[in-house]
Amino acid sequence: MEAPALRVSVPATSANLGVGFDCLGIALDLRATFSFDFADSLVIDGCDPALAGDDNLVWTSYCDTCDRLGRSAAPLHITIDSPIPITGGLGSSSACVIAGIIAAQVLVGDGFNRADALEEAILIEGHPDNVAPALFGGLASSCITEDGRTIAIPHAISSVFHYVVMAPSYVVRTVKARKALPASYALRDIVTQMGRYATVINALETGNATLLGTACHDLIHEPYRAKLIPDHKTLKECALGNGASAFTISGSGSAMLAICAGRDAAERVAEAVHALMPDLWMKILPVDTRGTIVEVKR
């Protein structure tokens, strides 16, 4: 079989990591692959037929980017091979957005540019917490400058930690998860959160599991979003009770993440969770440090 004109591989991601609301994310070693060829008309394979129309997120991201590049959006044959659950919280939509952007850059633009892809993805997604680690790999934090630009900051991350990812079969819509948040917060909570945010980054960089467990307690979104995830309390108690260093909602849910110091601890947590909920989608994943990989047919 002839190689596709373009293949893009994007890792799953977990945003927020508890205290890093809309600013912090991590790439996980679970990859979606998108193949692109020119075609006479739009064809999309590999996803639910209901998602294979001209409102498909890969296609609309491609078209949006072509428009901003001032280029025509040539019809494509898109093949999607993604093991990332689409129930929410593990960056399945960010992977689609990034793939579509890169297809526009490479196939009708001037070539893959990671920094430009980040800016384009933020325009489409609205915030950088998933797209920055998906593009760059590893742990990434982001900040918005006074002139509205977004800066993504990659961080070193310890190989000590393993991540037990859990994805219930039900969906928590991002719009609903955002509506669950209060309109304002107490100054004391904001100050506390800022300190915890810096501490969690340090703990993840250095592999300090005790420090991670001390600091990874969110005040901004998890107390409100947990109410939208029926299994949150049960799974959190199970994970922490069996040795996880921290437990967070992944993105806005419904996926959740147990952060464990060492593979043995991760396996103990996974076994306990499986015994509790045998049908729950779950994987033990290391950090992905490669980010988005682009292969262009020569």
Residues 22, 144 within the same domain: yes
Residues 171, 88 within the same domain: no
pLDDT tens for each residue of 3-31: 779 999 999 999 999 999 999 999 999 99
Q: Which domain holds residue 112?
A: 6-154+288-296
Return the top range by mean pLDDT from 110-114, 151-155, 192-196, 293-297. 192-196
In a domain, 122, yes or no: yes
Residues 12, 55 within the same domain: yes
pLDDT tens for each residue of 180-201: 999 999 999 999 999 999 999 9
Residue 222: give its domain's CATH number: 3.30.70.890
On the CB side of 93, CA atoms within 13 Å amount to 21
- Whether 47 has a pLDDT exceeding 90, the answer reads no
Residues 150, 23 within the same domain: yes
pLDDT tens for each residue of 60-100: 999 999 999 999 999 999 999 999 999 889 999 999 999 99
Burial 151-186 (b: 16+ CB within 10 A, else e): ebebeebbebbbbbbbbbeeebeeeebeebeeeeee
> What's residue 249's pLDDT?
97
- Mean pLDDT, the chain, rounded, equals 94
Q: Which residue has the tokens 């310890």?
A: 158
DSSP 1: -
Residues 150, 185 within the same domain: no
In a domain, 1, yes or no: no
Residues 78, 208 within the same domain: no
On the CB side of 162, CA atoms within 13 Å amount to 17
Residues 216, 176 within the same domain: yes
Residues 106, 195 within the same domain: no
In a domain, 74, yes or no: yes
Residues 65, 121 within the same domain: yes
In a domain, 113, yes or no: yes
Residues 11, 59 within the same domain: yes
Residue 298's pLDDT band (cuts 50, 70, 90)? low
In a domain, 201, yes or no: yes
Residues 143, 24 within the same domain: yes
Q: Report yes or no: 98 and 11 within 8 Å, Cβ to Cβ.
A: no
Number of domains in the chain: 2
- Whether 273 has a pLDDT exceeding 70, the answer reads yes
Q: Report yes or no: 148 and 123 within 8 Å, Cβ to Cβ.
A: no
Q: Report yes or no: 58 and 36 within 8 Å, Cβ to Cβ.
A: no
> What's residue 2's pLDDT?
63
pLDDT tens for each residue of 137-146: 999 999 888 8
Residues 193, 147 within the same domain: no
> What's residue 48's pLDDT?
84
